[in-house]
Structure 1
Amino acid sequence: MQISARNGLKGTVKKVEIGSVNTEVTIEIANGVEVTAIITKSSADNLKLSEGKEVYAIIKATDVMIAID
């Protein structure tokens, strides 16, 4: 796989929550470190996502914000 996005995080699907239109996918990228994405239900179906499947979280953004309390 080749992709132009610079931020790709390999991980394992931890949870898939299917909604009527969208699906929330939680990916564990390191022990105790998770990334959650909301994708269309159709995309989740096409990718055949399930718990335990190895995937990549591809992050394409022009801005990263940092905040403190």
Structure 2
Amino acid sequence: MKLSARNQLPGRVKAVNEGVVTAEVVIALDGGGELTAVITKKSVEELGLAAGKAVYAVVKSTEVMVAVD
């Protein structure tokens, strides 16, 4: 699959924490660090997401906020 999004970060699923309708998917990025995505439980099932599965975190946004203390 090819995507137009430039920010495609490879990693592996670290954890899937399912709620009633949505799930938090924690991804350990190959370059270090973690990213958490909130997606539907149906998407978790359709993608076969589970700890250890190789995935890409794809970020497509028109705005990125940066903050400092």
The normalised TM-score by structure 1 is 0.93
Q: What corresponds to 1:11 in structure 2?
A: 11
Deviation (angstroms), 1:35: 0.2
Aligned residues: 69
Task: Tell me by how many angstroms 1:66 deviates.
Answer: 1.0
**SS of corresponding position for 2:2:** coil
How many angstroms apart in 2 are the aligned matches of 1:46 and 1:4?
22
Q: Over aligned residue pairs, what C-alpha RMSD do you find? A: 1.2
Unaligned runs of 5+ in 1: none
* Structure 1 stretches of at least 4 aligned residues deviating more than 6 Å after TM superposition: none
- Map 1:1-69 onto structure 2 (within 5 A): 1-30=1-30, 33-69=33-69
Amino acid aligned to 1:26:
V
Secondary structure of 1:66's counterpart equals coil
Offset from partner CA, 1:12-33 (integer Å, 9 cap, x none): 0000001110010000004751
Taking only the aligned residue pairs, the percentage that are identical comes to 52
Distance in 2, matches of 1:20 and 1:48, equals 18
